[in-house]
Each structure stands twice: as structure tokens, then as C-alpha cells.
Amino acid sequence: MVQVEIKMEITIIKERNDYLELMVRDIGVSLIAALSEVAQKNEEVEYAGYRIEHPLKNDIRFIIKTKGKNLTARNILEESIKKMKEILNEISSLSEELERK
């Protein structure tokens, strides 16, 4: 099993119950894109997306906007991260299984 350590910087730009805007630095856009897609699948989400602020600086703005009913934007982010971990663990298990064959 390969372990990868990810170091990144996250700054909260704006936060309300129904809105969360983060600046994420020093991480590839692929993980943020996947996190955005996972968040979008939640029925409470009105919008989840990201924008690359500057391609040379690797700054990514990540936004979650909820419908404001049951879950806060922070709750959605936490649930989405948990789901991403489950997905990545499943991929890791499948990879290990393929290596044994």
C-alpha cells in the first residue's frame, strides 16, 4: 500500500450557515474537483464549485452554497470529505486486490 501525504493551506474567506468560501493552496485541482462533485450530489446543495484563481500560484477558490434548510455549508463540506475518504479507501482496497492477482 502506498501512503501519500498531502500538505495544503486552507483559508476561510467567507462563512455563513448557507455559504462557505475557502481559498485552498498547494494542492492539485483534481482533489478539489472531486470534492466539488461529491458535494454537488447532496440534495441540500444549491451550488458547489471551484475556480482556479491563478494557475501559476496554485490557488483554488472553493464554494459551497446550500439551500439553507437542514445542513450548514460546513456540514456539507464535512460530509463530502468523509465521503471522499470512503471513495479513496475503496479505490485503495481495489488496487491492493488487483496487486495480489
Assign domain 9-100 to a CATH class. Answer: alpha beta
Q: In whole angstroms, what is the distance from residue 73 CA to residue 19 CA?
A: 5
Domain boundaries, the chain: 9-100
Which residue numbers in the chain have pLDDT < 50? none
* pLDDT at residue 56, rounded to an integer: 83
pLDDT of residue 4: 67
| pTM listed for this prediction | 0.85
Count of other CB atoms within 10 angstroms of residue 77: 18
